[in-house]
């Protein structure tokens, strides 16, 4: 709003009442020359107030065209500010409509486990609402193997340790000076490590090498072997690390409505479309997948707020104060009236085949000042009963938000009616600036002509005064001579 009141006038916000002011290329007129020595010296011969005379003549010649240029420029700039404010208000409404018509707004789901200790859930937009029975009998685990305890300085001779995960194998060279610690470092630093981490635990009985799969699931289990040319101590180490123990790789095992499901990870995805189960324990639970109405409620509230802001802007642009006589800069504007009518027609329409039918039945009503109100309880009831009907009311082919979005996008496009008018007004302001420059030039020439004319008058009057003085002096001398004789 401040942009409207910052024009080169004293206009108030959205009103067009202003005190006259000149454009940026204001009139030069007599004022730019009246201070020069030439103009100030005029009149010495004639005794006339030439400065005031020239200023009055130039001002009278300039007043009519200057008033037309000034008034039209102020009017154009006020309309530009008003149309720009209308564009801004419509942009806010356009953003709210984009949210209200976005598929994402209506495709957010929540997943709830009745037994929260079983884990957590996450959902994607392609989930389907429903209730499912879960029975988790086994969690996915990572394979872990531990060597026998050894002194920290113990070595194992030379050779090669082979670690295999699936079809991927790394060969780790071991020298006669390598300890468990240096072997662990070599495994971890191998560039083509297939998914095995190594660490050394220093216990009361000595150091022990611990190998762990970096991923859970049987497919990510590993095997360890020593090359045929390895030392017996290294081969013994490999055999110990390849012997199954109590921490073997396992898949998560569960049933969903009695259907068996396995997963290498405890993050079970793909079993239920759009739902990921993050398992934390075994047990049974009921899973409820439901559409979340929170984004829809937020979008509807944002729409009501944005439309109310638009309506408030329009009220100021189209206002009239009978007491002060101040009028909105777009009072009676045909473009604004057309936009208001088209939007109002859509807002008051009904969607055929939709059981809710119209905005009022959803709890959205318009106030006497054009702003909107929302009955949150009515909206909540409609969303609870059937959110898809609410979605259709807004986003169907003939949905209210769909129609509004099309209108507002057209109004606010770079080739739309608003920008076209703003461009035309800007062109007019530029042309008025050119007219102002031309007027200034004409007035300067006219002033110089007057200066020349009054200079010639001064010269003539000086000459006549000199002649008059000469004649007077001659007559006085003649009279004196006559008296003496």
Count Cα neighbours of 70 within 13 Å in the Cβ-side half-sphere. 16
Count Cα neighbours of 295 within 13 Å in the Cβ-side half-sphere. 17
Query: In this structure, what token pair is assigned to residue 117?
Result: 């200790």
Closest CA to 170 of 145, 144, 188: 188
Q: What is the pLDDT along the chain (485 residues), one digit of tens a residue?
A: 443 433 334 344 455 544 444 444 444 444 444 444 444 455 544 566 778 888 898 889 889 999 999 989 998 899 999 999 999 999 999 999 999 999 999 999 999 999 999 999 999 989 999 999 999 999 999 999 999 999 999 999 999 999 999 999 999 999 999 999 999 999 999 999 999 999 999 999 999 999 999 999 999 999 999 999 999 999 999 999 999 999 999 999 999 999 999 999 999 999 999 999 999 999 999 999 999 999 999 999 999 999 999 999 999 999 999 999 899 999 999 999 999 999 999 999 999 999 999 999 999 999 999 999 999 999 999 999 999 999 999 999 999 999 999 999 999 999 999 999 999 999 999 999 999 999 999 989 888 888 888 778 777 777 777 787 778 877 777 777 777 66
If one counts every other C-beta atom within 10 angstroms of the C-beta of residue 239, the result is 13
Query: pTM of the prediction?
Result: 0.68
Q: Is 302 in contact with 100 (CB distance < 8 Å)? A: yes
Angle, CA 464 vertex, CA 460 and CA 470 arms, to 5°: 145
Where on the phi/psi map is residue 417: left (φ > 0), alpha (ψ -120 to 50), or beta?
A: alpha
366, β-bridge pairs: 372
pLDDT tens column, 71-122:
899 988 999 999 999 999 999 999 999 999 999 999 999 999 999 999 999 9
Q: What is the CA radius of gyration of the chain?
A: 46
Q: Is 133 in contact with 258 (CB distance < 8 Å)? A: yes
Any idea which residue has 């199954």 for tokens? Answer: 244
Q: Helix H segments across 102-116?
A: none
With both helix axes pointing from N to C terminus, report the angle between 294-317 and 387-395 in degrees, rounded to the nearest 10: 40
Task: Return d(Cα 262, Cα 119) in angstroms, integer.
Answer: 16
| DSSP code of residue 333 | -
381's CB contacts (< 8 A; 6+ apart) are: none
């Amino acid at each position: 709003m401040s942009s409207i009141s910052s024009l080169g006038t004293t206009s108030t916000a959205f009103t067009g009442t202003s005190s006259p002011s000149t454009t940026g290329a204001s009139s030069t007129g007599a004022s730019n020359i009246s201070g020069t020595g030439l103009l100030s010296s005029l009149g010495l011969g004639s005794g006339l107030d030439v400065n005031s005379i020239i200023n009055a003549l130039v001002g009278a010649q300039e007043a009519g065209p200057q008033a037309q240029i000034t008034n039209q420029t102020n009017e154009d700039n006020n309309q530009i500010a008003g149309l720009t404010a209308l564009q801004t208000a419509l942009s806010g409404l356009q953003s709210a409509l984009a949210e209200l018509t976005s598929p994402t707004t209506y495709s957010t789901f929540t997943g709830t486990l009745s037994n929260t200790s079983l884990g957590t859930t996450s959902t994607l937009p392609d989930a389907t609402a429903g209730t499912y029975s879960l029975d988790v009998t086994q969690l996915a685990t990572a394979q872990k193997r531990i060597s026998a305890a050894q002194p920290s300085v113990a070595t194992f001779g030379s050779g090669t340790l082979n670690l295999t995960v699936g079809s991927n194998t790394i060969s780790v060279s071991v020298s006669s000076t390598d300890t468990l610690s240096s072997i662990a470092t070599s495994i971890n630093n191998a560039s083509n490590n297939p998914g095995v981490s190594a660490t050394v635990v220093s216990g009361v009985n000595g150091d022990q090498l611990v190998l762990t799969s970096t991923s859970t699931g049987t497919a990510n289990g590993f095997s360890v072997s020593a090359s045929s040319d390895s030392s017996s101590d290294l081969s013994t180490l490999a055999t110990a690390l390849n012997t199954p123990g109590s921490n073997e790789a396992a898949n998560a095992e569960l049933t969903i409505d009695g259907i068996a499901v396995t997963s290498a990870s405890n993050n079970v995805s793909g079993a239920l479309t759009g739902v990921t189960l993050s398992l934390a324990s075994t047990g049974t639970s009921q899973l409820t997948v439901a559409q979340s109405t929170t984004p829809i409620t937020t979008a509807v509230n944002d729409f009501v707020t944005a439309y109310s802001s638009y309506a408030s802007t329009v009220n100021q642009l189209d206002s009239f104060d009978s007491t002060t006589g101040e009028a909105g800069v777009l009072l009676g504007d045909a473009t604004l009236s057309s936009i208001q009518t088209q939007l109002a027609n859509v807002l008051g329409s009904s969607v055929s085949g939709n059981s809710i039918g119209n905005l009022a039945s959803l709890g959205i009503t318009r106030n006497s000042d054009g702003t909107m109100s929302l009955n949150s309880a009515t909206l909540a009831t409609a969303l609870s009963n059937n959110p898809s009907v609410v979605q259709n009311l807004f986003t169907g082919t003939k949905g209210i938000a769909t129609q509004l979005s099309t209108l507002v996008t057209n109004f606010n496009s770079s080739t739309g009616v608003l920008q076209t008018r703003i461009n035309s007004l800007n062109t007019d302001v530029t042309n008025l600036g050119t007219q102002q420059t031309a007027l200034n030039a004409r007035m300067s020439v006219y002033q110089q002509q007057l200066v020349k004319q009054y200079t010639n008058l001064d010269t003539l009057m000086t000459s006549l005064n000199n002649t008059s003085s000469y004649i007077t002096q001659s007559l006085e001398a003649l009279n004196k001579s006559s008296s003496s004789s």
